[in-house]
């Protein structure tokens, strides 16, 4: 198995254990707990998105050159410049830069493979899933705690996949179904974020956007979240 598949495979296995535990200990409280976990995953997507949009990229790495590159992004020149820049960044800085480039070129995220979209998230989600499994196998907590954890972890792990699907002209049937029942937001609702970059940062179902928007306005009034952080500088 290639290294790229190891994380998703382990996460899938860990979630299968959690889901089995959920089935075995299911009671009526699991239903609101599943929705609460889904809300928390949406909230997490909004808070992380807000923080990374406004967190500045490191200066002096040449990131402005590739961000504002005017030639073809498929050219050898661009690809070489981009590879050189990325080699100068650590993993966190690369994720921060990805959030900036998503705004002028949102469709690129939608074109990425599922593995590419979710692997950075799985680095954190997998250890959390293993902790949940320990609670499932050796713990004696009520079923609703497993429901909350399972829903939160699934919503968090696939957050960038859900976000990417908002920029895809054609999406799979399961995404359409989740949108239809209100468990995922629509591209029109997400466009409100891209119109101003000052609202609606949550990208799963959008239920937490009223809360995240209040937090954004609170921080802006205190002089935080400077627009300068939205684009890399030289």
* Smallest distance from Zn ion to CB 88, Å: 23
Binding of residue 200 to Zn ion (CB under 5 A) = no
Neighbour tally for 94: CB within 10 Å: 15
Angstrom distance (rounded) from CA 145 to CA 29: 9
Asked if 121 contacts 154 with a C-beta cutoff of 8 angstroms, the reply is no
Q: Any idea how long the chain is?
A: 234
Element (H, E) at 122: helix 114-138
* Smallest distance from Zn ion to CB 228, Å: 15
Q: DSSP secondary structure string, 131-200?
A: HHHHHHHH----HHHHHHHHHHHHHHHTHHHHHHHTT-SS--HHHHHHHHTTSS--HHHHHHHHHHSSS-
Closest CB to Zn ion among residues 82, 102: 102
Q: Give the binding range for Zn ion (CB under 5 A) out of 26-34, 49-57, 74-82, 129-137.
A: 49-57
Q: Give the binding range for Zn ion (CB under 5 A) out of 28-36, 51-59, 111-119, 223-231.
A: 51-59
Q: Give the binding range for Zn ion (CB under 5 A) out of 10-18, 52-60, 124-132, 146-154.
A: 52-60
Task: Report the C-alpha dihedral over residues 94, 95, 97, 99, rounded to 10 degrees.
Answer: 160
Q: What b/e string do you get for 175-194 counting C-beta neighbours within 10 Å, with b at 16 or more?
A: beebbeeebbbebebbeebe
Closest CB to Zn ion among residues 61, 193: 193
Closest CB to Zn ion among residues 50, 136: 50
Closest CB to Zn ion among residues 21, 106: 106
* Smallest distance from Zn ion to CB 143, Å: 35
Q: Give the binding range for Zn ion (CB under 5 A) out of 100-108, 119-127, 146-154, 173-181.
A: 100-108
* Smallest distance from Zn ion to CB 123, Å: 21
Closest CB to Zn ion among residues 145, 165: 165
* Smallest distance from Zn ion to CB 201, Å: 6
* Smallest distance from Zn ion to CB 74, Å: 22
* Size of the residue set binding Zn ion (CB under 5 A): 2
The structure tokens 């993993």 sit at 91
Binding of residue 53 to Zn ion (CB under 5 A) = yes
Interface with Zn ion (CB under 5 A): 53, 106
């Amino acid at each position: 198995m290639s290294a790229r598949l190891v994380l998703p495979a382990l996460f899938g296995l860990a979630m299968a254990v959690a889901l089995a535990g959920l089935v075995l200990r299911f009671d009526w409280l699991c239903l609101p707990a599943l929705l609460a976990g889904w809300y928390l995953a949406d909230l997490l997507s909004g808070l992380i998105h807000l923080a990374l949009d406004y967190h500045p990229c490191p200066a002096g790495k040449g990131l402005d050159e590739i961000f504002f590159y005017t030639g073809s992004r498929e050219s050898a020149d661009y690809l070489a410049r981009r590879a050189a820049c990325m080699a100068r960044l650590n993993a966190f800085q690369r994720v921060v830069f990805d959030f900036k480039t998503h705004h002028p070129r949102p469709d690129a995220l939608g074109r990425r493979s599922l593995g590419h979209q979710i692997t950075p998230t799985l680095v954190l989600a997998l250890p959390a899933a293993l902790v949940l499994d320990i609670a499932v196998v050796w713990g004696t907590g009520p079923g609703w705690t497993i429901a909350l954890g399972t829903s939160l972890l699934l919503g968090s792990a696939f957050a960038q996949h859900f976000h990417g699907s908002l920029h895809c002209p054609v999406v799979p049937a399961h995404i359409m179904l989740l949108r239809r029942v209100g468990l995922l937001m629509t591209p029109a609702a997400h466009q409100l974020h891209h119109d101003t970059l000052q609202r609606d940062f949550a990208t799963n179902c959008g239920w937490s956007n009223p809360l995240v928007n209040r937090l954004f306005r609170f921080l802006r009034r205190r002089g935080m979240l400077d627009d300068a952080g939205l684009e890399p500088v030289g």
